[in-house]
């Protein structure tokens, strides 16, 4: 019997280093697989040789063969040793090729590698302070974020997440006015607008190119109950009417529901952002807010999600906020941090919702008294 792999908690530091370096190099090769179409070509080919796969997408066979071997070692692909054929299981295709699948994950490779390439610049801001503005990140990063989050919005937002707030789905079905803060490329807004045709939606995000993509997505879906505007919620503080006026066709303020998925911790001024949300609410309106899973206590983040989010933070959430002279909360604020922000912003009711998600935790804010 072969030696069993030790449990993660029992591994030596050296063994963890080997795991992490192997994982980092796997990310680089998987990125190549996504960008050069290797995963997609293999999924379309079925069982095939390295020669046939290389010929199919006009790549050098020797590199393709070594890539295939590495992806088999990483358990991303399978190999038939008797016939020397490579293939993918349905689960591997769903995770690595099918953008519309619930388990699609390959967008993470397109986020991780461009982020790692920022390391020399990040070293500079470690020494000088400040950060890397969102607008100066590689263009691939916003697109990768949209791909990474697509399973959330296509499969989970409506049926699982919003359904976790008592009575909210029923209100949306009857028809209410909704603001989607930090909507990015608009997939969250479009998912809600499709599911609740009686409600009206306005998606906002300060990243102009993402709003262009959002409008194109809405056009493809032929939806008339939503609009998008390139602006931040913080810039609308004290002037909620501008949120609707900016779009021309968006739902009017005040809003009955404000949705903020995985974005408040990124804001330069998160308290002001939450306060602006409160000011834009109707008298009985609420904020449905999510933050990454994790805790402000570092020892509680010794798990895959905690490790991912903690390591991601300096490369993205922290540096983008500090570049704008912001609060620099980082990726993980935990329930305790969210409660503090909500109280400072003026919300009297803060409720953590019992929604089962490994990646996000959900809060429901009501009774805004910060006007």
Q: What is the pLDDT of residues 333-342, one digit of tens each?
A: 999 999 999 9
Of 38 and 11, the structure prediction assigns the larger pLDDT to: 38
Q: What is the pLDDT of residue 7?
A: 57
Q: What is the pLDDT of residues 179-195, one digit of tens each?
A: 999 999 999 999 999 99
Q: What is the pLDDT of residue 193?
A: 98
Tokens of 271: 């308290």
17 with 158, same domain: the answer is: no
Domain closes at, from 66, 98, 130: 98
Q: What is the pLDDT of residues 80-109, one digit of tens each?
A: 999 999 999 999 999 999 999 999 999 999
Of 249 and 303, the structure prediction assigns the larger pLDDT to: 303
Q: Which residue carries 């590698």 as its tokens? A: 113
First to last CA, the chain: 68
Give counts: helices (H), strands (E), the chain.
Answer: 16, 9
* pLDDT of residue 116 exceeding 60: yes
Tell me, rounded to whole angstroms, the distance of Cα 222 from its chain centroid.
25
Beta-bridge mates of residue 86: 48, 79
Tokens of 193: 């607008």
* pLDDT of residue 292 exceeding 50: yes
Q: What is the pLDDT of residue 251?
A: 64
Q: What is the pLDDT of residues 133-149, one digit of tens each?
A: 999 999 999 999 999 99
Q: What is the pLDDT of residue 247?
A: 46
222 with 78, same domain: the answer is: no
> Which residue range(s) make up the domain with 25?
8-98
Rounded (10°) angle between helices 61-73 and 50-57: 120
351 with 258, same domain: the answer is: yes
Q: What is the pLDDT of residues 224-268, one digit of tens each?
A: 999 999 999 987 654 445 555 544 555 667 999 999 999 999 999
**1 lies in some domain:** no
Q: Contact 293/359 with Cβ under 8 angstroms?
A: yes
**229 lies in some domain:** yes
* pLDDT of residue 371 exceeding 80: no
Domain count, the chain: 2
17 with 129, same domain: the answer is: no
209 with 275, same domain: the answer is: yes
**204 lies in some domain:** yes
184 with 226, same domain: the answer is: yes
57 with 183, same domain: the answer is: no
Tell me, rounded to whole angstroms, the distance of Cα 66 from its chain centroid.
31
Q: Contact 48/85 with Cβ under 8 angstroms?
A: yes
CA distances in angstroms from 324 to 71, 134, 181, listed in the order given: 39, 9, 18
Domain closes at, from 49, 66, 98: 98
**103 lies in some domain:** no
Domain closes at, from 98, 130, 165: 98
**Of residues 148, 162, 187, the one with CA closest to residue 308:** 148
Flag the least confident range among 4-8, 22-26, 197-201, 276-280.
4-8
* pLDDT of residue 112 exceeding 70: yes
**310 lies in some domain:** yes
Rounded CA separation 17/3 (Å): 19
Half-sphere exposure of 342 (CA within 13 A, CB side): 27
205 with 230, same domain: the answer is: yes
Other beta carbons within 10 Å of 112: 23
**3 lies in some domain:** no
183 with 278, same domain: the answer is: yes
- Determine the average pLDDT of the residues in 38-49: 98
CA distances in angstroms from 272 to 33, 234, 345, listed in the order given: 42, 6, 7
Task: State the CATH number of the domain containing residue 19.
Answer: 1.10.10.10
Confidence class for position 157, pLDDT limits 50, 70, 90: very high
**106 lies in some domain:** no
Q: Looking at residue 238, what DSSP letter applies?
A: T
Q: What is the pLDDT of residue 245?
A: 53
Report CA torsion sign: 299, 300, 306, 310: negative
- Determine the average pLDDT of the residues in 107-114: 97
142 with 241, same domain: the answer is: yes
178 with 324, same domain: the answer is: yes
Task: State the CATH number of the domain containing residue 195.
Answer: 3.40.50.150
50 with 181, same domain: the answer is: no
Q: What is the pLDDT of residue 253?
A: 76
- Determine the average pLDDT of the residues in 288-301: 96
Q: What is the pLDDT of residue 234?
A: 82
Of 308 and 246, the structure prediction assigns the larger pLDDT to: 308
Q: What is the pLDDT of residues 319-367, one digit of tens each?
A: 999 999 999 999 999 999 999 999 999 999 999 999 999 999 999 999 9
Rounded CA separation 283/298 (Å): 38
Q: The pTM is what? A: 0.91
CA distances in angstroms from 36 to 51, 92, 110, listed in the order given: 16, 17, 12
Rounded CA separation 182/204 (Å): 6
Q: What is the pLDDT of residue 235?
A: 75
Q: Which ranges of 196-324 does DSSP label H, i.e. alpha helix?
A: 208-221, 241-245, 270-279, 304-312, 317-323
Report the b/e string of 206-236 with b at 16+ CB within 10 A.
Answer: bbeebbebbbebbeeeebebbbbbbbbbbeb
**109 lies in some domain:** no
């Amino acid at each position: 019997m072969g030696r069993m792999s030790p449990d993660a908690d029992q591994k030596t530091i050296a063994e963890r280093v080997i795991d992490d370096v192997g994982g980092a190099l796997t990310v680089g090769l998987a990125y190549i697989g996504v960008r050069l179409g290797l995963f997609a070509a293999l999924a379309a080919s079925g069982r095939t040789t390295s020669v046939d796969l290389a010929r199919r997408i006009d790549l050098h066979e020797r590199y393709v063969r070594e890539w295939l071997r590495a992806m088999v070692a990483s358990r991303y692909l399978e190999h038939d040793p008797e016939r020397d054929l490579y293939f993918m299981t349905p689960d591997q295709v769903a995770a690595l090729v099918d953008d519309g699948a619930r388990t699609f994950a390959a967008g993470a490779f397109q986020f991780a590698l461009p982020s790692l390439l920022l390391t020399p610049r990040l070293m500079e801001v470690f020494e000088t302070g400040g950060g890397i503005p969102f607008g100066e990140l590689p263009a691939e990063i916003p697109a990768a974020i949209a791909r990474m989050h697509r399973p959330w919005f296509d499969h989970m937002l409506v049926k699982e997440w919003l359904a976790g707030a008592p009575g909210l789905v029923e209100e949306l079905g009857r028809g209410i006015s909704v603001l989607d803060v930090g909507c990015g490329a608009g997939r969250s807004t479009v998912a809600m607008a499709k599911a609740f045709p009686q409600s009206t939606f306005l998606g906002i995000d300060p990243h102009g190119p993402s709003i262009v993509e959002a409008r194109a997505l809405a056009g493809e879906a032929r939806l008339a109950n939503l609009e998008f505007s390139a602006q931040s919620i913080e810039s609308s503080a004290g002037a909620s009417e501008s949120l609707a006026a900016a779009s021309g066709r968006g739902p009017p303020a005040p809003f009955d529901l404000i949705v903020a998925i995985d974005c408040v911790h990124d804001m330069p001024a998160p308290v002001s952002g939450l306060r602006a949300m409160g000011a834009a609410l109707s008298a009985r309106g609420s904020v449905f807010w999510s933050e990454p899973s994790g805790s402000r206590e570092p020892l509680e983040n010794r798990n895959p999600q905690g490790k991912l989010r903690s390591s991601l933070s300096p490369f993205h959430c922290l540096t983008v906020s500090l570049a704008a002279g912001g609060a620099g909360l980082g990726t993980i604020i935990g329930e305790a941090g969210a409660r503090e922000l909500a109280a400072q912003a003026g919300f009297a009711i803060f409720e953590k919702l019992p929604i089962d998600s490994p990646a996000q935790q959900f809060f429901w804010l009501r009774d805004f008294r910060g006007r």
